[in-house]
Amino acid sequence: MVMGYVALSIPVLGLTERPNFPVDRYSYLVHLMLVGSGIIWRCKACARKRLLIAGLLTVILVAEVKETRHQLRIWRDPESLFTWMVAHPKFADNARQQGHIYVMWGRHLASENEPRRSAGMFNNAQQGYLDAIKAAFERADDTEALSVLSHQEHYFGLTPVLRREKGYCLLQLDRPAEALHELRIAAGNLPDDLRANELFREASKAAAAETAAQHEPE
């Protein structure tokens, strides 16, 4: 049990750092001192083995003391935390999490009565989503485009054009009933848009075919 607790304290070393999932903010130093003392006290092996265990725990403890200083700087205040997240080398690897972090930062700034900076963070989030959606369409990655569109919709809503493209993605992913719902709204808001109307007709046919297939006798 005590050795397991020591192992569970390893996140203090920063081995689990992710741009959207900061490592545990707590320092386990006091606990580790107690656990290490308990292990040495309970060990009935020879003095050499006790010395080896004590040395190993000391090495872990020293490493965690060093890394804890770094973690405490990250968690000093919200501004430090968000600044660290944005500066992380892998921050731009995931547009969904990137947008989420900017939104959380924007909400924090809004609560601190900093409307200009807050608006800038929201703008960063939205622009990141739009760039990712465009890139996904260029790669013909409908699954990724739909995923990012869902995040955009959750935080900012969808323009009629983006809703049209969401319907297109659903149609491409063989989800005609959902596509029909989105495209009906898009076509209603874009009555003169040829693409929206064409996709709506296509989704209507596909949804009708799916419904008919579900009701066919076996």
Q: Is 175 left (phi over 0), alpha (psi -120 to 50) or beta?
A: beta
Q: Give the SS3 label for residue 21.
A: strand
Q: What is the pTM of this model?
A: 0.70
Give the pLDDT mean for 133-138.
96
**177 Cβ contact partners less than 8 Å away, ≥ 6 residues apart:** 207, 210, 211
Query: What is the tens place of the pLDDT at every residue in 1-24?
Result: 666 766 776 766 666 555 444 444
Q: Is the four-CA dihedral 145, 133, 16, 23 of positive or negative sign?
A: negative
Query: What is the tens place of the pLDDT at every residue in 111-126?
Result: 999 999 999 999 999 9
The amino acid at residue 6 is: V
Contacts of range 21-24, beta carbons closer than 8 Å, 24 or more positions apart: 22/74, 22/75, 22/81, 22/84, 22/85, 23/71, 24/71
Residue 28 — pLDDT band, cuts 50, 70, 90?
Answer: low
**76 Cβ contact partners less than 8 Å away, ≥ 6 residues apart:** none
| pLDDT above 60: residue 129 | yes
| pLDDT above 70: residue 55 | yes
Query: What is the tens place of the pLDDT at every residue in 66-109?
Result: 777 777 777 778 898 899 889 888 888 889 989 999 999 999 99
pLDDT of residue 22: 47
Report the percent of the chain where pLDDT is more than 70.
76
Phi then psi for residue 171, to 5 deg, are -65, -45
Q: Is the four-CA dihedral 180, 184, 185, 189 of positive or negative sign?
A: positive
The closest of 149, 135, 151, 134 to 100, measured between CA atoms, is 151
